[in-house]
Structure formats: structure tokens, C-alpha cells
Amino acid sequence: MRFKRISKAVAIGATAALALSACAASTGTTDSSSGNAEGGGNGGEIRVVEVNAFSSFNDNTAKGNVDINSKIAYTTQSQFNYIDNDLKIQKNEKFGKYETLSEDPLTVKYTINEGVKWSDGEPVNADDMLLAWAIQSGHFDDATLDPDTGEVKSGTTYFDYAGDTSGLGLTDVPEVGDDNRSITLKYSKPYADWETAFGMMGAAHVVAKKSGLTTEELSKLITSTPKGDPENPAKPNAKLKKVADFWNTGFDTKSLPSDKSLYLSDGPFIVDKIVPNQSMTLVRNKDYNWGPEPKVDSIVVRYIGEAPAQVQALKNGEVDIIAPQASADTLEQLDALGDQVVVEKGDQLSYDHLDLNYTGVFKDKNVREAFMKTVPRQQIVDTIIKKLKPDAKPLDSQLFVPANDGYAESAKNNGSANYQEADIPAAKKLLDGKTPTVRLMYNKDNPNRSDAYSLIAASAKKAGFKVVDGGLGASEWGGALGTGTYDATIFGWISSGVGVTGVPQIFGTGSASNFNKFSSKEADSLMDELIVTTDPAKQTELQIKIDKLIWDSDYGLPLFQSVGVDAYSSDVEGVKYMSNQTGVWWNFWDWNLKK
């Protein structure tokens, strides 16, 4: 085995949209004889494994925002830029250009190049960008939220966008130009993450048709509908609600739709086949030339949750690339394969955590604190992470990892010192004789999450808690988040490593990704300031304050920063380690089969 240790420091910070972390189909055969002149490669097929099963062609909703969905979108949906494995933003000027027209007020123009089109032949243009802006800006929302529960009290929230809307919410209706190929955004305040703020969100002509509109009618609806005002909420706009309702759920599927418009591509690959909960096949988009061009003709994605099964599939030559659950056993199994594989290991921009709902049994702050007191964080780290990373410790921040400048200061002052080891006597004292029942949800197909559940449940029982096993399968747990069907959950967030907007995405009152309904006016105010702060030192200062407020509210507990392991066949080249949510997929266009 050729082993590469990736020692680069990584930082969680945040991203435009953090993704939920993952932590026996026909795969076809490799045929390198077909060639691939356009991409400069040898053609053929690469077979890659993912832990979670595909569930939606819209990875931008709170439900669809699972890592596998995002990776498929990355191969089939073009964007103005991407992030490389040095965590640097790289522009894709073959797709389109964005330029800053003014610093004060901040004004940014986006232009899509001529010839860029969807796989049904329709052009990618300003109609698509207007829809994307409407989704990401929250411009039409006029909902007022209950500060205690985060639930809507009055008004309407239209699009169930997984990311944070506060950035593009600083812009007004875009100006359309260049024969319907450009939009210009003008910000009312400086915005820290402006370069990653705007992204394409799908085909407007499809959303329009499914909502009973023409594309022109949809764009007019977006440009003419008044901005939402929570102080004076209007009656829900029926047409806009129909558009949003379709976008929110219309692309969710575990199988290949008979309607091809539901999985259009303007990227390097097109989805060709799906075996539900088993595999997906992607084939080259023959028209694509507006970005990095792939070197292979097809990619088969197999869903295998168990690490030993992934390693066995790699050993048998059934797959070419895996990113299995990191464990000492996994590394030993890979080591036994010798020079047959290349293995890379490094820190991830991902952390596992336990979140407690602010409703139900945990509405009582004392009960939340008591449950947190029972969590054996050090034992969890020793059991799951220590063999992989001997110096691993419990993660003591909700916003930083140890590589961040603000981590040490935040950990020193945020209250995490009170939760290093389980303290059963303190938990019993807080419960004062109560024996609360807690339903704990997690991905039961993820060995690390199963181990963490077992350790937490056994420890909590000692204090009087009755813990109910709410484990769900790999294709189910993501969709269950935020549904109120559990009291606590173990899962992971994984970041792009760029920007700060992931903070309000998770912790902002009413955010679609704020699954446990945390709400703090003081934290919201600090987050509003954070997104318009461009000085990194000031950003760190604000995040330290936010981190403490989260801990003070008995939100739950970060458990550990994840370690990543990638392994691939020695017959494959071009794979490079990536610490963020894109993983090995970040440069899939470089994957190639050696001759």
C-alpha cells in the first residue's frame, strides 16, 4: 500500500451551504480502449463508493442537503467557481464571469457565456439566475418566527433553502442584461462571502413549467412581486408558493424519473441509470465544453455503508475509489492490500456532534444540561478516533477546530471545560428524581455514530434517562432531521472551509438547517454583524462570542473532528485528497485510468 499522510491544517469556519456528513449493483466493466480526446484521458469507467444513498436531484433544500446529493450535483450542475484542495476559490470562466463593478456599494455582475445549455438544449441564462437569486435571498419571505421554538407564527417562508439567506438578502431585485445572459446584484452593505454567495439552483424553465407558468412568466413573477415585510405579512402569493413548493420537493427521488426534465444537466456528466439504494451511473455530457472536461466516459457510484465491505470491493477490483469510515481496522485492512491501492489520510472539515431539541423533553434547560453531563466525550474519542489520531481530544467548540486561530481562546471561555468527562452525580442532581425518556436518532449504518450512540445511551441510563434507539438507515436519517420525531440526534456537518455564512445557516433563528430550533436574539445580532464583516480578526472575535452563547444555551455537544481516509486503485490516477465536503470528487475531471 502506498500511504500518504495529508498534514495540511484545516479550518471549519463555515461555507455557503454546509452539508450533512456521511461519515450490490452492476458496476459494469472498465474499458480504456474507447479513448477521450476532448478530456485528454483514456476514456473508460471509474467506479466510486459513497456511504449514503442518493435521494434528490436538488441538494439545496434542507432535506436534500446530504453529501451524496451534493456530489452528484457537483458533476451535473455548472457553477461560476469551485474550491480546490488548497481551499482556494477557482473561477470557471468557460462557464461565465463575475466581476465587481463597485466596492461602495458592493455591486457584482454575473454573465453566462454564449453556448452554455441544459441537456435538453435550452440555454442557461438570466432566467436561471433570477430563480437562484429568489431562492438564496429569501427576498419574498415575510414570516415571523417564535423566538423560543423557531416555528413560523405569521407570514410565509417560500423556498426551503438549506443555506443562509442573509447575504443575498442584502441585495434587491437583480438587473438583467446582455440579451438575458447577465444579472447585476447591488448590496446594501459589504458582504464577507460575496464571492461564494451566489450559485446556480437548477433549470428555471423546468420549475416554471411544473408550476404552470412559462419561463418568461416566472421571471416576471420574480422581478415584480413585492419584497416580503415581516412587519406587515401579506397573503401568500399563490403563484410563487406553487413555484417554491415544486422546487422544495419536486426533485426528490431515489430512482431515475421517467421525466428527463427532472434531472437535466449543464455539467460534465448526465445521470443515466439509478438502482435505488444501490448505485447510480453517470455518463459524459457530449455537449459540455464550458469547464474542466473529464478524462473518463462514465462514473458508476455504488452505495456501500460498511467500511469492510468497501475495502473488500476495492480488493476484488469491483470499485476503484473509496472513502470509507475512518478507523484503525479500516487502515489495517487497506494495509493488507499492499501496492494494489493508494491510501490518503488527513483531518476533515467535518465534526460529529450531539444536538438536543429545544422542544419536548428538552424544553427544560436543566434536563438538557443533565443529558449533556452524561455524555462520555473522552470515552467516545478514545473508542472511535484515538487509534487513528493518537493526539485526538474532544472537540471543544461549535464553530472552530484546533487549526483555527480562535479555537484555543473560545474553548477556554465557552464553558466546554464543564463537559470533558461524564458527570453522573451532577446529572442526577439536575434531574432531581426525574427519569426522562429521550429518543436519540442517528445513522445506524455509520459505525462511528452507532458506537457513539451506544456509549451515550449506556452512560445516560446511569443518571436515570431512558434512551430509546431512534437509529435510521443511511437513506433515511437526513430526511428525518428537523421533523420532531426525535429528541436528540448524532450527525455531522462538513464545510467547504471558505467563508462564514455557515454560522447563521446552522444557528440562525428560523434557518432551514437549524434543525433543533436554537434561537438567540443576541446570537442573531452577532451573526448579522458577522456576515458583513470582512476583517478576519473581527470575524474570529464575533464567532468566539457566538460560540459561548451556543454553549450557554445547552445546545448539545461537539464530539470530535473527523479523520478522513481515501483509498483508490493503483490503476487510477488524478485522485487528490480534499478535506471539505466535496471529498475526492473535487477534481473528478482529472480521474483517469492508466493505460
Query: pLDDT for 186-199, tens place per residue?
Result: 999 999 899 998 99
pLDDT of 223 > 90? The answer is yes
Instruction: Convert the pLDDT of each residue in 86-143 to its tens digit.
Output: 989 999 999 999 999 999 999 999 999 999 999 999 999 999 999 999 999 999 999 9
pLDDT at 22: 47
In a domain, 242, yes or no: no
pLDDT of 8 > 60? The answer is no
In a domain, 263, yes or no: yes
**Cβ 14 vs Cβ 585: under 8 Å:** no
Confidence of residue 371 (pLDDT cuts 50, 70, 90): very high
The pTM for the full model equals 0.80
Instruction: Convert the pLDDT of each residue in 224-278 to its tens digit.
Output: 999 999 999 999 999 999 999 999 999 999 999 999 999 999 999 999 999 999 9
pLDDT at 382: 95
pLDDT at 9: 35
208 pairs with which residues across the strands?
none
298 pairs with which residues across the strands?
45, 283
Give the closest residue to 96 by CA, choosing from 63, 134, 69, 123: 123
pLDDT of 514 > 50? The answer is yes
Q: Which domain holds residue 568?
A: 13-82+253-347+563-578+585-593
Q: Return phi, psi of residue 80, to 5°.
A: -75, -20
pLDDT at 148: 64
In a domain, 374, yes or no: no
Rounded to whole angstroms, how far apart are CA atoms 26 and 424? 50
Calculate the alpha carbon distances from 143 to 26, 188, 244 in Å. 48, 21, 15
**Cβ 218 vs Cβ 202: under 8 Å:** no
Share of the chain above pLDDT 70, in %: 93
For the chain, give the mean pLDDT. Answer: 91
The one-letter amino acid code at 88 reads K
pLDDT at 23: 41
pLDDT at 245: 98
Give the closest residue to 320 by CA, choosing from 595, 575, 79: 575
In a domain, 89, yes or no: no
145 pairs with which residues across the strands?
152
Helix axes 238-249, 215-224, angle to 10 degrees: 120
Instruction: Convert the pLDDT of each residue in 536-577 to its tens digit.
Output: 999 999 999 999 999 999 999 999 999 999 999 999 999 999
pLDDT of 154 > 70? The answer is yes
Rounded to whole angstroms, how far apart are CA atoms 401 and 560? 9
Confidence of residue 581 (pLDDT cuts 50, 70, 90): confident
- Which grid coordinates are listed for 487? 429528541
pLDDT of 33 > 70? The answer is no
Confidence of residue 512 (pLDDT cuts 50, 70, 90): confident
Reduce the DSSP state of residue 67 to 3 states and report it: helix
pLDDT at 25: 26
Rounded to whole angstroms, how far apart are CA atoms 253 and 239? 24
Give the closest residue to 539 by CA, choosing from 485, 573, 498: 498
pLDDT at 30: 27
pLDDT of 150 > 70? The answer is no
pLDDT of 31 > 90? The answer is no
In a domain, 375, yes or no: no
Mean pLDDT of 405-423: 96
In a domain, 364, yes or no: no
pLDDT at 26: 25
Q: Any residues with CB less than 8 A from the CB of 274 and at least 6 apart, and which? A: 54, 254, 255, 256, 280, 281
**Cβ 37 vs Cβ 44: under 8 Å:** no
How many Cα atoms within 13 Å fall on the side-chain side of residue 518? Answer: 27
Q: How many domains does the chain have?
A: 1
Helix axes 424-431, 447-463, angle to 10 degrees: 60
**Cβ 301 vs Cβ 588: under 8 Å:** no
Q: 529 burial class (0-12, 13-18, 19+ CB within 10 angstroms)?
A: middle
Rounded to whole angstroms, how far apart are CA atoms 475 and 174? 38
Q: Return phi, psi of residue 232, to 5°.
A: -135, 70
DSSP assignments along 79-107, one per residue: -SEEE-TTS-EEE-TTTEEEEEEEETTEE
- Number of neighbouring beta carbons within 10 Å of residue 149: 16
- Which grid coordinates are listed for 210? 411544473
**Angle, vertex CA 183, rays to CA 99 and CA 96, nearest 5:** 55
**Cβ 242 vs Cβ 261: under 8 Å:** no
Rounded to whole angstroms, how far apart are CA atoms 515 and 506? 8
pLDDT at 149: 63
H or E element at residue 82? strand 81-83
User: The CATH number of the domain where 73 resides is what?
Assistant: 3.40.190.10
Highest mean pLDDT among 33-47, 174-188, 316-330: 174-188
Mean pLDDT of 510-522: 91
Reduce the DSSP state of residue 443 to 3 states and report it: strand
Eight-class DSSP state of 418: G
Rounded to whole angstroms, how far apart are CA atoms 591 and 525? 45
The one-letter amino acid code at 263 reads Y
**Angle, vertex CA 272, rays to CA 268 and CA 273, nearest 5:** 140
pLDDT at 35: 39
Calculate the alpha carbon distances from 183 to 109, 163, 220, 593 in Å. 6, 21, 14, 40
In a domain, 40, yes or no: yes
pLDDT at 20: 52
Q: Return phi, psi of residue 351, to 5°.
A: -145, 140
Confidence of residue 66 (pLDDT cuts 50, 70, 90): confident
Q: Who has greater pLDDT, 448 or 435?
A: 435
- Which grid coordinates are listed for 450? 452507532
In a domain, 99, yes or no: no
Rounded to whole angstroms, how far apart are CA atoms 152 and 143? 6
Instruction: Convert the pLDDT of each residue in 17-28 to its tens digit.
Output: 455 554 422 223
Q: Who has greater pLDDT, 575 or 10?
A: 575
pLDDT of 16 > 80? The answer is no
